Structure 1
């Protein structure tokens, strides 16, 4: 019997450690017989003492011996089903497919019993193994008598048949039922759509389709050219060696392809039906997967899952972008429902010839959360890059989908005379607008369109998510471009970014270095041309080389010039570039030489920290009470510079606990250190390239600034422990961090431009706002507030502030700055505040 693709992982045979599986067969059977003689019935504990449970993990070569043990139980207690039950459960426990002959022996053993106790006998597990082996094909004729006997034993086993028993009886009957469609599980989705599409066909055509689906349900790969045998000692080598080993296995897995014989049979059956009809029906079924209401039909083993796997592999060399897109959306559904079909979906996307396969894999990667899922998708993308002969960075550029946008940030589509328009708004908001046939706006989805074009409407809504993911991905890659040492030719840069209908929304608002004729000029794309900081046009040559401009490489005069240019032209950058914080080595760091204490001794919320670190490309362990916390460093690798950075942190014990009991709520920050990428050699800080140092220290400053408990305005009311309260006070109103100091300088430049300028002033750490009732001090680091004259804390929760001030900001992404400005506008007009919780604090 050929196994399914999803059961063909990396071809590795692990040798069991000798200390566990060294009991000879004769000795094992002697032990078991002794236990059977001494016990009234072999309990699980007794069987474990015999060594039975050890042999259960030993692989397929132990199954026959275990069935022998089960038969001995049958001989010793002919009237007791419990002994037999325990042995059989030990034999078939787990998901490893049993050999057909051993499975046949088990069925014979079960049906030889005069009656079955379903509360003890693992009939359900045996049926699962049979379903796994034979998939869509009915059982061979020589199995029918045994299966009918099993059905007859189950049927009278309970006077009142529960829903579970009725379902089991139906599954047993289905094993010998030749009707394919009858055995599909209802799923409120693609399988129901398949059944509806095929039941209306004539008998001959429906029979051809059922034969094709039966073939799809047993897809199998070409046998591997090589197998590996790995012992315990090999797997206890260096972690990096193990990582390389499993990476090699993943690549081998991704390169597997369906067996030639299976493909030839598939091609023959598809031609019998009609190639166009098959492609049309397959696409419709794949597009219906995300609407499946019962995801267990593709997460647990079932006929549905087997057929769907075959449908995926039937297009493994397809050049149709619609097929690749449908597989991608189905992959997202599988990913979210933890279906094993995610693996073949990624395999197929790696093999297809569709040009949008990299775009689809990138979108799938943006939706993945588990590291094992991300690793699989990343390897698939890497193999595509290798096959196309391009770098990973170039593949990332090509993988940015245009989502069929025909102009910058805009796409239109006509359905039943109505026009659907997708428009990207500031802040990466994507709106779906409808217009009537006469051009007037339509407030909601037209009923006619909803009725006649449900698939197209679903696709438009999916496009909104895709565009948002594209913008987020492009923003991160552009922001990371200097760290990744990216550069482009002028032609590729214009095609992939400036003229890209989605990514161009970001790229046109950034400053770029243009290197040509031996000179480097900083320029920005404005009003359909490139201009420098003095508004002089920069003509781009074909041989120009383009990199992203970074302030660490610019003079102070140039930085200020670009900051003023942004204000003068009221252009908002997608992230801080001209106003980006710069971090250089301090004297204290030169003294410590190999580590920085700049961001040590902060208390951070662990869940917020790990989530934010993930978005910035870091990996952080989850610390809890359950282990020794040996690995307490967040890490990020920078392979382009041959470096790795560690941000050390430890658990912080408080009286507060995670309500879900999943780990520590808070962490305390410690050193920042740099290492060589390979190995554990520490790199002195003065040897770290300035661009690497500033960007990674900026990340750490961001982690502390966003995740510090000092940002919680209510902490003073419930914070446990004097240490935590002292920290909260110091952070809330103490010395400013590097990023806060630069925020203060920006505010000093911005405030004179605002209508509340005459009510604002500054001291070292505070923006001072004069209201009509009181004067207030807003800390520029934490945004917490003190009221004068007694400097009492004034609690205003940011989510309760209405951001109704009309203030131009030359960059996106600084939430703390927005909160400070919102509070300043609110308090400058304190007589108009109507929130009773704030009014009581002000008037008290």
Structure 2
């Protein structure tokens, strides 16, 4: 840099020299340092422990740490925090960051101290993510959309598999449209940065939660060890040293290690919670992939689905198609993760195959044989695949656009309509008096199924029309009011 600057003359050389010699700990300081609020009192916060058991930072030093946090912005942290992280125990920093955030909440979340939320992006961990996500989902309903958006930045800043999983969950399921859209933008930014599609990023966001390749892990109580895992329905189980199966981990006993046993039990509780979240999200995602005919390459299938310690349990309860040169071959995954056809003969997945979940429409005459196999073997499916009802357009429907057979059916709770969002439907834009007049689902390029409830959905007052019929159902090139 200095050599090139010299080629442009003394003035350029002087400017670059000053730039390179600047201390980042000083050059980023504003003229007037921020003053954290009175609520940020070191006496009210847990100690910041020094690595190696060498005590804790004194209160005056903790005040400087708080000032460093106050100097920071979302994902733009004062560089001195790196030195703090080198000196302090990681767990201590995480606990300190959450305590700062909680004190800020107790103080009424003053806007000028919003850094207390941003700080979690630097100090937080997976447990922080689990605590923070419920608040993120609730804040828009409390008139704090901007705070929820800041929360998205925190999740992106933590950046762990669990953080990205929860960020993706918000993008898929949160009920507040603006927040959902912002989360989707954030996911799109991450995907674009990695050169991936949204679906491809979703494959990579499924965490393994620290499990071994077979979906198990060992919990150490010191005097005792237990192997924990998850069955084909992703329900947890525990095996003791003698191989006896238990429903849950036992309470720590007098002979167990006083630190290892409680920590292991706490870890298992968090693991069960995370697996429940993963299972619900991935079942919905796989069902949507079947309906939209999404495909994976053979390598993606083997790496992200078959090779995943949790997802493979779902994968082996479905029928799959391998498309090669325009020809589809149906197969399933056996208990030992090998592939087999409907006659239970070994199947080899071609390297260039496109793999997708078999919709019953695509199985043709083979549907009955596959249904019989899954029934005889007692394989429960994660969602309705082989027994899924299939409808064919009548000549009248094919010539027009109305689907009258689904209109004016039984009276339904409006909450059932709201629940359709979890199935991939989108609520329409609010019209007169803030009423959403339609719901739609994209089923192909420029092709939507749209339905109109007779009263609509009142934004912010869903109980205004607690029950209603579906009045009109039609196909259109875009969603809109009938």
CA pair 565-355 structure 1, distance change in 2 beyond 3 A:
closer
1:418-471 per-residue CA deviation (whole Å, 9 max, x = no partner) reads 33544334544335x474799796863215679635555444322212111111
CA pair 335-444 structure 1, distance change in 2 beyond 3 A:
same
Number of the residue aligned with 1:181: 42
SS at match of 1:281: helix
Deviation at 1:386, TM superposition (A): 0.3
Is the aligned partner of 1:328 residue 2:129?
Answer: yes
Is the aligned partner of 1:309 residue 2:117?
Answer: yes
SS at match of 1:554: helix
- Structure 2's unaligned 5+ residue stretches are 1-31
Is the aligned partner of 1:500 residue 2:308?
Answer: yes
SS at match of 1:578: coil
Number of the residue aligned with 2:447: 643
Q: 1:604 aligns with which of 408, 411, 432?
A: 411
| CA contact 1:335–1:368 (8 Å) conserved in 2 | no
| CA contact 2:216–2:229 (8 Å) conserved in 1 | yes
Q: 2:194 aligns with which of 364, 388, 397?
A: 388
| CA contact 1:404–1:411 (8 Å) conserved in 2 | yes
Q: 1:533 aligns with which of 325, 342, 345?
A: 342
Deviation at 1:504, TM superposition (A): 0.8
Q: Distance in 2 between matches of 1:447 and 1:298?
A: 40
Q: 2:64 aligns with which of 191, 208, 211?
A: 211
- Structure 1's unaligned 5+ residue stretches are 1-132, 139-173, 185-191, 222-256, 316-322, 653-659, 683-844
Number of the residue aligned with 1:464: 272
SS at match of 1:651: coil
Q: Distance in 2 between matches of 1:434 and 1:535?
A: 31
- Matched ranges for 1:128-527 at <5 A: 136-137=35-36, 174=38, 180-182=41-43, 192-194=45-47, 205-220=58-73, 257-258=75-76, 263=77, 266-268=78-80, 270-271=82-83, 273=84, 275-277=86-88, 279-286=90-97, 296-297=105-106, 300-301=109-110, 306=114, 308-314=116-122, 323-335=124-136, 338=139, 341-351=147-157, 354=160, 357-363=163-169, 365=171, 368-425=174-231, 427-431=233-237, 433=238, 435=240, 444-447=250-253, 452=259, 454=262, 456-516=264-324, 519-527=327-335
CA pair 629-606 structure 1, distance change in 2 beyond 3 A:
farther
**Bigger shift: residues 437-446 or 668-677:** 437-446
1:395-425 per-residue CA deviation (whole Å, 9 max, x = no partner) reads 1111111112214443322133333544334
Is the aligned partner of 1:671 residue 2:482?
Answer: no
Larger radius of gyration: 1
Deviation at 1:607, TM superposition (A): 3.8
CA pair 408-485 structure 1, distance change in 2 beyond 3 A:
same
1:812-831 per-residue CA deviation (whole Å, 9 max, x = no partner) reads xxxxxxxxxxxxxxxxxxxx
Q: Distance in 1 between matches of 2:315 and 2:347?
A: 16
Deviation at 1:353, TM superposition (A): 6.0
Is the aligned partner of 1:549 residue 2:350?
Answer: no
| CA contact 1:331–1:342 (8 Å) conserved in 2 | no
Q: Distance in 2 between matches of 1:359 and 1:457?
A: 23
1:305-332 per-residue CA deviation (whole Å, 9 max, x = no partner) reads 64533523446xxxxxxx5524422431
Number of the residue aligned with 1:23: none
Is the aligned partner of 1:572 residue 2:366?
Answer: no
Tell me how large the CA RMSD over aligned residues is. 4.0
TM-score normalised by the chain length of structure 1:
0.46
Q: Distance in 2 between matches of 1:531 and 1:570?
A: 16
Q: 1:632 aligns with which of 437, 446, 450?
A: 437
1:766-814 per-residue CA deviation (whole Å, 9 max, x = no partner) reads xxxxxxxxxxxxxxxxxxxxxxxxxxxxxxxxxxxxxxxxxxxxxxxxx
SS at match of 1:573: coil
CA pair 289-608 structure 1, distance change in 2 beyond 3 A:
farther
Deviation at 1:212, TM superposition (A): 1.6
Q: Distance in 1 between matches of 2:216 and 2:100?
A: 28
Q: Distance in 2 between matches of 1:452 and 1:440?
A: 24
| CA contact 1:650–1:667 (8 Å) conserved in 2 | yes
| CA contact 1:181–1:210 (8 Å) conserved in 2 | yes
CA pair 622-380 structure 1, distance change in 2 beyond 3 A:
closer
SS at match of 1:469: helix
TM-score normalised by the chain length of structure 2:
0.76
| CA contact 2:211–2:217 (8 Å) conserved in 1 | yes
SS at match of 1:501: coil
SS at match of 1:547: strand
